[in-house]
Copies of this chain bind each other. A is one copy, B any other.
Amino acid sequence: MSPDDITGGRGRRHYTRGVGRWEPGAGDRLREAALTLYLERGFEQTMVADIADRAGVTARTFFRYFADKREVLFDRSAELERSALAALEAAPATASTLEAVAAALSAAADLIGQDRELARKRQAVIMSTADLRERELIKLADLSAALAEGLRRRGVPAAEAALATEAGSAVYRVAFQRWVDTEDGTLDLHEAIRQSFAQLHTLTTPH
């Protein structure tokens, strides 16, 4: 172990000479390494130690940043929940229940809809693995529950709140998938969501 090993480069030493004690941004490096490896080899074939190596840390450090091997793809969802909830709370008091939910989804689309390529990669990995689909679903369910609580604080009855946010979640899932799948570069996520809401309306009023 010569002093030359002190590089901070990938998979080597972890110190850096002048700036800070450790190469900063271990969390980001881990996120990036994980997505890359999950895409290249698949989720099950990738071991936590591999991800950690590629990010220049140990497996123990991985688990200090992320609760488990899946969470590395999902820990941004806390932000998403915050801004969706904020948008719901910012909706005018005159808004209908579903309009408030739509405002929340629109805020989510603002964040997610920026980078379709990233969304595609993430979605490809997630949809290819049951473990990751499970995590994705519970994150959306938790978001839905948070929004439902927000609705209740606005005076919406519990049953109505739960149904509205679950339906909103369904709309979002379908729209997101359509947005990711389409070749059409002009379709943005907001528009896809709007269309799905319209379709839900049509569905529930058949005659």
Chain A interface (Cβ within 8 Å of chain B)? Answer: 96-99, 130, 133-135, 137-138, 141, 159-160, 162-164, 166-167, 169-171, 173-174, 177-178, 196, 199-201, 203-206
Contact = CB atoms under 8 A, between A and B. Distances in A.
B134 A162 contact: no
A98 B203 contact: yes
Given A137-B134, A160-B199, A204-B200, A174 B166 contact: yes
Given A134-B134, A178-B159, A204 B205 contact: yes
A146 to B, nearest CB: 15
A163 B198 CA distance: 11
A166 B170 contact: yes
B174 A170 contact: no
Given A135-B134, A203-B98, A177 B162 contact: yes
Nearest to A197: B204
Nearest to A135: B134
Contacts of A171: 163
Given A162-B174, A167-B170, A200-B204, A137 B130 contact: no
Given A137-B137, A138-B130, A163 B200 contact: yes
A203 B156 CA distance: 12
Nearest to A171: B163
